[in-house]
């Protein structure tokens, strides 16, 4: 079974803190993604990576950064957490490289519910 594991299910952080959300996948997938999910807005792409040390901005990258030092691990960083970053964060991976035609199934982690107070 493909497994995408996020380090925490629930996190509470204070405004201004630096926050790290970690994600690990065990299927050797090239692509990894970070989404946030908010009621009425659906899943929105923050950043994605199609290879080690490669990253691309998604639709809402402001206030976030990412790191992919190893193929299996993709980290989302909130440099200075704010209350409007309170959300459910979902990591996903998929097995196809950028540039190849056709979509592939994305496998999602269980999500991290982050509350910034």
Partner 1 sequence: GQNIDQPTEMTATEGAIVQINCTYQTSGFNGLFWYQQHAGEAPTFLSYNVLDGLEEKGRFSSFLSRSKGYSYLLLKELQMKDSASYLCAAYTGFQKLVFGTGTRLLVSP
Binding mask 39-68 for partner 1 (x = CB under 8 A): -xxxxxx--x-x-------xx---------
Cα dist from 106 to 24, 31, 34, 40, 65, whole Å: 14, 9, 11, 22, 21
Query: Is the Cβ of residue 57 or residue 70 nearer to partner 1 in the bound state?
Result: 57
Query: Is the Cβ of residue 12 or residue 16 nearer to partner 1 in the bound state?
Result: 12
Instruction: Work out how close the CB of 14 gets to partner 1 at its nearest, in angstroms, rounded to a whole number.
Output: 25
Q: Report yes or no: 33 and 106 within 8 Å, Cβ to Cβ.
A: yes
Burial category of 81 from C-beta neighbours within 10 Å (exposed 0-12, middle 13-18, buried 19 and up): buried
Q: Which of residues 75-114 bind partner 1 (CB under 8 A)?
A: 90, 94, 96-99, 101-111
């Amino acid at each position: 079974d493909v497994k995408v594991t996020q380090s925490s299910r629930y996190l509470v952080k204070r405004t201004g803190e630096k926050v790290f959300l970690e994600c690990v996948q065990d299927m050797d997938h090239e692509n990894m993604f970070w989404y946030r999910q908010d009621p009425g807005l659906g899943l929105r792409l923050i950043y994605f990576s199609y290879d080690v040390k490669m990253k691309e901005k998604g639709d809402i990258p402001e206030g976030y950064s990412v790191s992919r030092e190893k193929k299996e691990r993709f980290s989302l960083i909130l440099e200075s957490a704010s209350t409007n970053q309170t959300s459910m964060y979902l990591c996903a991976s998929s097995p196809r490289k950028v540039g190849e035609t056709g979509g592939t199934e994305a496998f999602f982690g269980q999500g991290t519910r982050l509350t910034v107070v």
